[in-house]
Amino acid sequence: MALRILVPVLCALALWQAAILAWDVPPYILPGPLRVARTFWSNRGLILDNALVTIVEVIAGIVLGAALGWISAVTLAISPAARLALRPMLVFSQALPVFALAPILTLWLGYGMASKIAMALLIIYFPITSAFYDALMRTPPESLALARVMGASRARAMWHIRIPAALPGFLSGLKLAAVYAPIGAIIGEWVGASKGLGYLMLLANGRAKIDLMFAALLVLAIFTLALHRAVDRGADAILERRGT
């Protein structure tokens, strides 16, 4: 497993360095990997301090978005009136560009973490809700028929049959959320923040410290990959446990 990750990383770094040598790219446009590594080490305190802020925003956004998506999907699956009222609103929310919402959330919630958490929540809410709702509506009909024959209420059928059967759909949405949530947090930091990796990248770019900007970007990429891997393994563990 380690080799499967290490080999592509080393190949990417080698191609990166080769491109710089082949086209003689100046460091203020594209710094080399060794230069970025040195910059990271010399600024590790600053980078990790800002990374911690972004990590908290992303995780909080995922937790809140997953909870809200779960509740929304179950409500939609239970209530035809909710489907009639809420589904068009869900679709409409995706028609609005995320960049357009970020300044509004910053205006309403301020420059602190709340607006960034809200951005992460908004960007993952629809994928989680949609994936979980579709899975709830695809419950095997024979299982629901058996529940009706045995006199189970709609609530008991939902809790004991439909939700367990739809759990893979919810976990699939959660895997997507692990990739999308950092995007929402970074967009929020670009619009207005005083901490975070997005803020640090803007600051470094404004001061022409391209190596610092790349160092912050690589930390964000590593965190996103690690988060997706953790969610993926957690989801697989839950499904395996259910199978046993």
**CATH of residue 161:** 1.10.3720.10
- 141, part of any domain: yes
Q: Are 33 and 13 in contact (CB under 8 A)?
A: yes
- 19, part of any domain: no
Contacts of 125 (CB under 8 A, 6+ apart): 65, 68, 69, 72, 93
Q: What domain range includes position 61?
A: 42-243
- 18, part of any domain: no
Per-residue pLDDT 10s for the chain (244 aa) are: 556 667 777 888 889 888 888 888 888 888 999 999 999 999 999 999 999 999 999 999 999 999 999 999 999 999 888 888 888 888 777 777 777 888 999 989 988 999 999 999 999 999 999 999 999 999 888 888 888 888 877 888 888 899 999 999 999 999 999 999 999 999 999 998 889 999 999 999 989 899 999 999 999 999 999 999 999 999 999 988 876 4
- 67, part of any domain: yes
Tell me the three state secondary structure of residue 26.
Answer: coil
- 16, part of any domain: no
- 25, part of any domain: no
Helix-then-strand count for the chain, H and E: 11, 0
User: Of 163, 153, 156, 174, whose CA–CA distance to 133 is shortest?
Assistant: 163
Number of structural domains in the chain: 1
- 181, part of any domain: yes
